[in-house]
């Protein structure tokens, strides 16, 4: 914290600051340890030959092979990919167009609409889950892929919308004007000028939508059926039963994918600057 200070002003600071600084760093290190130790242990023990976690009885990659050969798990992963893929696509469409229209036009009810968009982002997932379940039951629509995807799009697209809106605020409005002055139709101006400018925000929003959908358990729990069970649903079921080294292996894969994702999205963010 003293990095921004000149030496002169630092001398006037109480000497306790130095102590406070190292206490803060120490605490941060401890919290990081708390955040990472369980994950690291999980990954380490995914290579343990023993079924029980306690004893280390030798290295094996066998649990990974078993995950790979587990039909229901692969099926669930496939379902997760389909659900996350389709709902990301729909979220990007709804979110980008919605952000553009809310940004571009003034109309009555725009503020109300903006507030309504924020509701699914903050609403507790269990409430969204049960109200969607009741809706589908009332209109007689069966649970399954469509129900799950509808749920996922509902909580994902506002995140795309907000990301795109933030980018639109920094956009030069003269660009669209110039495009139209040069003979582009409004749709051409949007597609050929605005969308390319928004690409970093759209990519960031899409990544967000995909991860939210890929990890989601609660809303899915209330809207899925056996055939459309996603990976989190399966993992939840397995974790309820107890320890299973296969889950360790699966978790390790997930964690690795998450690390890759975090670095990738960091890279995308830097591109956007």
Partner 1 sequence: MSPAAKAGAALPGLIDRRTPRWRAWLLLLPMVTWLVLFVVAPTAILLVYSFCERDEVGRVLFTFTLDNYRRVFDPVYLWIFARSIYYAGLTTVICIVAGYPVAYCIGRAREEWRQRLLLLVMVPFWTSFLIRTYAWITILKQEGLLNGFLRLFSPGTAGLDLLYTPTAVVIGLVYAYLPFMILPIYGSVEKLDGALIEAAYDLGAGPLRVFSSVIIPLTLPGVAAGTLLVFVPAVGMFAITDLMGGARVPLIGNVIQNQFMQARDWPFGAALGAVFMGLFAATYWVMLRLGAQEEDSVA
Q: Is 254 in the site for partner 1 (CB under 8 A)?
A: yes
| Lookup result for tokens 């280390």 | 56
- From 18, 57, 141, 173, residue interacting with partner 1 (rule: CB under 8 A): 173
Establish how many alpha carbons lie within 13 A of residue 70's alpha carbon, considering only the half-sphere containing its beta carbon.
20
**Residue 210 buriedness (CB in 10 A; 0-12 / 13-18 / 19+):** buried
- From 59, 140, 174, 273, residue interacting with partner 1 (rule: CB under 8 A): 174
Q: Which residues contact 197 (CB under 8 A, 6 or more apart)?
A: 167, 171, 175
For residues 54-83, which are near partner 1 according to CB under 8 A? 54-55
Measured in whole angstroms, the distance separating CA 142 from the mean position of its chain's CA atoms is 27
For residues 136-155, which are near partner 1 according to CB under 8 A? 137-138, 150-151, 153-154
Q: Which residues contact 218 (CB under 8 A, 6 or more apart)?
A: 125, 126, 128, 129
Least gap, CB of 183 to partner 1 (angstroms): 18
Phi/psi region, residue 140 (left: phi>0; alpha: psi -120 to 50; beta: rest), is: left
For residues 5-44, which are near partner 1 according to CB under 8 A? 5, 9, 12-14, 16-17, 20, 24-25, 27-28, 31-32, 34-36, 38-39, 41-42
Interacting span for partner 1 (CB under 8 A) from 3-11, 57-65, 66-74, 194-202: 3-11
- From 47, 145, 159, 222, residue interacting with partner 1 (rule: CB under 8 A): 222
Q: Is 272 in the site for partner 1 (CB under 8 A)?
A: no
């Amino acid at each position: 914290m003293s990095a921004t200070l000149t030496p002169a002003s630092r001398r006037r600071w109480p000497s306790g600051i130095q102590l406070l600084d190292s206490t803060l760093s120490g605490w941060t290190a401890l919290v990081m340890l708390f955040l990472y130790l369980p994950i690291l242990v999980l990954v380490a023990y995914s290579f343990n030959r023993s079924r029980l976690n306690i004893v280390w009885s030798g290295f094996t990659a066998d649990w990974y092979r078993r995950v790979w050969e587990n039909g229901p798990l692969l099926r669930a992963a496939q379902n997760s990919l389909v659900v996350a893929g389709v709902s990301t696509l729909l979220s990007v469409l709804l979110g980008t167009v919605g952000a553009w229209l809310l940004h571009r036009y003034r109309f009555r009810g725009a503020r109300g609409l903006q507030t309504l968009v924020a509701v699914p982002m903050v609403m507790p997932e269990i409430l969204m889950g049960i109200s969607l379940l009741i809706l589908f039951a009332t209109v007689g629509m069966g649970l399954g892929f469509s129900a799950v995807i509808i749920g996922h799009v509902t909580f994902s697209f506002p995140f795309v919308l907000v990301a795109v809106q933030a980018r639109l605020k920094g956009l030069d409005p003269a660009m669209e004007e110039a495009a139209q002055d040069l003979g582009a139709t409004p749709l051409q101006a949007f597609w050929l000028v605005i969308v390319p400018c928004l690409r970093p925000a759209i990519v960031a929003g899409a990544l967000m939508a995909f991860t939210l959908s890929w990890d989601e358990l609660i809303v899915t729990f209330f809207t899925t059926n056996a055939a459309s069970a996603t990976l989190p649903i399966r993992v939840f079921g397995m974790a309820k039963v107890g320890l299973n080294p296969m889950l360790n292996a699966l978790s390790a894969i997930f964690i690795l994918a998450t690390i890759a994702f975090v670095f990738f999205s960091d890279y995308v963010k830097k591109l956007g600057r």
